[in-house]
Structures are given as C-alpha cells and as structure tokens.
Chains A and B, each alone.
Chain A
C-alpha cells in the first residue's frame, strides 16, 4: 500500500462518517482530521475532551480509573481504598502492571485491592461510619502503611457522604496522612479529569507536608521523574540513564513511588515530566509555588532519548552535559546493534496507534528509528494541548482521530491497511481476528520496559515478534485462500 494523499484521507473520513445520523455525523466530524504540519494550533482542526456520544462504542474510562488506577494507585506504601461497591476496584486490580519493590501486604500494597464493599444499607444510611471503621482495621492489619487515600466511586458523590470529615478525623487518630479524593466516575468525560482531581488532591493534602522539614539534604543534581508509572519497569529503565548522567533521582511519580518521595518533590531542582497529560497540573503548581522548573521529555527510541538527555543536561553544568554525551556514546553500540538486527525486518511497515495520554505522540520516534511509519494516531482522552504537540510529530496527510469509536477505527483500518496496530485490550481481539498484527500499547502486552535504551531493545524485539509472526498467514481457512499467498508467510524465516 502506498501512502494516502490528503484528498484520499479526507475522502475516507467523509465515507466513514456517512453512516451516522446527521447530528452524530456533525459531532464526530470535529474529532477526525487529516494532519497538516502547517497548522500551529490543533483547535483549528480537531476537537477533543468532549463527552462521547451515547450509542457509539468509546474506549474511555472514568475519573476513578484516572485517579486510583493511574495517579494514586502506584504509590506503593500507601493503602488506596476503593470506596464504594466492590467491582470498580476488583475488576481493575493490578491490571496496569506498575512494578515495584517491596513485600506486598507488609510494607507495600500495590497489587492488593482494598474496598469498602458497599451494600444496600450503606447506600441508604451512608458509608461514613464504615469508612472510619475500615481505616482502623487497616491500621491494625497493615501497621507499616504510610498513609491512606480514599478513592471515591460513583455512589459516594450520589449519596453525599462527607469523606473529607472522615479523613480529617482519621488522620488525627492514625497520625498519618489520609487523603480524600473526589474522583467519582461520573465526573468529567473520561479518566482525564480523574488525573486532574488526583493532582489537586496531591497538591492539597500531600505536597506541603514537609515544607518545614529540613532533614532532607538536597544536592544541586536532584531531579524527579513525573508521569512515569513504571509499567513493566519503565521508570527503572529511565532512572538508570539519569543516574548514569550524574543526576540524583529523588522521586518517582508514581510508579514504584512512595509517599515520602512525593512529599520531598518540591525540594528537587528540576521535575522531568514524561506523561504530560496526567501530571502537568501538579508540575505547573510546583513551578509556581516552589519555583521548581519542569520539562517534558521522551525516552522512547534512541533518537528521542538522545535529544531528551541533551535537553535535560542543558539545565545543569558542563560536567552533566559531558556526561550526557558519554551516556549516549556508551549505549550507542548496543542500540545500533538492535537497529541493525530489526530494521531490515521492519523497514517500511506502517503502524496505526490509538492509545491514552502520551504514547500516541511519544512512541512515533521509536517506530521511526526502526524504519517504520505511523500513519494514524489518536488519543482516548487527550486535550487540545496534546494535539498541539502531536501535529509536528506526525507526517503530513496522516489520519488523526480523537476518542475514535469502535466502528470508525475498524473502517479506518480496513481502508488504510496498516501492518501493525498499537492500542488497548478492548481493541486487540477485533483486529487480531481481522488478521492484523496487534500490540497492546497500554500494558506493553505483558512485556516491557519500553523506556530507555534497554527498553528500546525489548520494544524492537516485540514489534518484530508480532509483525513477523508466522501465525498471520494461518488466519484464513485454507479453502478460502486466494491464489496469491499473503506475504506474511515469509516471516518465519
């Protein structure tokens, strides 16, 4: 398949929109666009962060998922209560693979599910008493926890429980931080508002805790990693690079992170922000209140890593800048070997992405390092500022889709015919059954890490393993096969 022209892509969008009733068509048209690198501001060509229409299949999550699942959940030494009925927490339990070190159930609690398990009577009479009771229980059973967060599920907001009051009371008796988070699932249009609410809760209940405390000795080289959830070990693979450069990483937000790290973050010299969408709020706040600057970086693929390492080093003195060059040099043989091995097998392959808050633009560079091309991308819950940052990364005349519906995505794929799709679990089996190689790009398909130079090697191997897997030639029943055998058959070689 040759690349599509601007007119062809625009025509494709029109064709796909055709089946909708008029009002839905008008609404959805605003969320689909053909990329044009000339455009300075995404608001001119795409609308985002709007409510999904009833009747279409959206892949979005809820505010609770954004707070409990993304921002707060990975803080390993706190206990996060999924406050409300049991399902929200149980069905999402340990699903994000935020790796951490520690002994689960003793001093870390990442993969456990704590819930107040609401019953009818709690809805009728309120759950505040139950909440304070379970916090006492938690303290008896897990005395090494460093604090508790209360992650509200939908019913809490509906029945109007006063979790703030319970939290304040409990914080006094337990003598630990207890953080109420108003992240009821019905708030906002997607998990994105959950990130924001969680950021605000950190700001209001955690960040200032150690303002007076001078026991932490900072150095001129203290940095933090924000917006890295250590999926499959991502943050570790990033951290080693920064440490190789001579920087000291004093906090990880929030993959493998702790409460103390969060509290000490304002003492850093620079906040490094990987996932802009989920943690830009708190970064901006820290810059304003504590004067800690922040910068976005990208640790996917050697080109972007080198670029980011140099940008980070530019904040510091010449030693660090020289070290950055050394780090890049040190890994050069390693990543060049990866490229030499996989590039010939992946060259020219076309990818369509549809992921969450940073990957639709961040991974493009890693694919390009392998000679692949991203021909369509989109965010589940991105905002205008995310698309602003995407336009320049994507090629001209490629497809951009916001909160794409199940139907649209399938039709786009049928026409664009990518060689690989990177998206989530909900899309995976549809496309695999259509015979298209697929990688889950939220959870790295149970692999990872993909960040850093070490991660790039794994990324390249995984893409090759998926794309060139001999199974794709076996998807069609033998008697339905046409004369010419699909080219995927060569892959096993």
Chain B
C-alpha cells in the first residue's frame, strides 16, 4: 500500500509519485474520472497497475493517496 502523491505535470498529465521509491510515472488511464469522482484502477505509462477506491468529490491535485498494487 504505497502512499502516492499525484500532481499535475507541466504537460497537463497526472504524475504518479511514490516517494519511498523515488518513482515518477505518468498516469496513462484511470478507471473513473468524472466531475464527481476519481479513482479505481490506474494504469501507469510503465505498464504497472494500482488501485484506489474512487474518491468523491473529485480531489484537487496535488494530493496524497494510498494505493494498492494490482
């Protein structure tokens, strides 16, 4: 269950940052991404997948969330 900070990159994409691992990857896909909620399974550009229960209302970034590895 890594704690992950998500921020908006200069190019508008969401950046998935795992502090413990100094890992920075862009988020390629998110399962739920609507006005009201955000979350579910996320796919990173390096191919790995993580999961977080969808959050309502949609959080404002940057924010830190606890993800599960899928």
Contacts and interface: CB of A to CB of B under 8 A. Distances in A.
A284 B5 CA distance: 8
Given A41-B46, A384-B23, A388-B24, A287 B10 contact: no
B22 A284 contact: no
A385 interface: yes
A288 B5 contact: yes
B22 A383 contact: yes
A384 B45 CA distance: 16
B7 A385 contact: no
A49 interface: yes
Contacts of B45: 40
A41 B46 CA distance: 8
Nearest to B7: A287
Interface in A281-336: 281, 284, 287-288, 295
Interface string B13-48: 000010101111100000000000000000001100
Given A41-B46, A295-B10, A287 B62 contact: yes
Interface in A48-82: 49
B64 interface: yes
Given A41-B46, A295-B10, A284 B17 contact: yes
Contacts of A130: none
B17 A384 contact: no
Contacts of B19: 281, 284
Contacts of A288: 5, 7, 62-64
Contact of A43 (B7, B10, B23, B62): B23
B62 A284 contact: yes
B10 A384 contact: no
Contacts of A383: 22
Nearest to A387: B22
A49 B22 contact: yes
Contacts of A43: 23
Given A41-B46, A287-B7, A384 B22 contact: yes
Main secondary structure on A side of the interface with B: helix
A388 B17 CA distance: 13
A385 B17 CA distance: 10
A289 to B, nearest CB: 9
A274 to B, nearest CB: 17
A383 B21 CA distance: 9
Nearest to A44: B46
Contacts of B22: 49, 383-385
Nearest to A277: B22
A320 to B, nearest CB: 17
A294 to B, nearest CB: 9
Nearest to B63: A288
A41 B22 CA distance: 12
A93 to B, nearest CB: 31
B5 A384 contact: no
A43 B18 CA distance: 14
Contacts of B10: 295
Nearest to B64: A288
Nearest to B45: A40
Nearest to B8: A293
Contacts of A41: 25, 46
Contacts of B62: 284, 287-288
B23 A284 contact: no
A292 to B, nearest CB: 11
Nearest to B6: A288
Nearest to A385: B22
Interface of B: 5, 7, 10, 17, 19, 21-25, 45-46, 62-64
28 contacts: A40-B45, A40-B46, A41-B25, A41-B46, A43-B23, A49-B22, A281-B19, A284-B5, A284-B7, A284-B17, A284-B19, A284-B62, A287-B7, A287-B62, A288-B5, A288-B7, A288-B62, A288-B63, A288-B64, A295-B10, A383-B22, A384-B21, A384-B22, A384-B23, A385-B22, A385-B23, A385-B24, A388-B24
Given A49-B22, A284-B5, 4 more contacts: A41-B46, A288-B5, A288-B7, A384-B22
**Interchain residue pairs A-B with the least CB separation, the first 5:** A383-B22, A288-B62, A385-B22, A384-B22, A287-B62
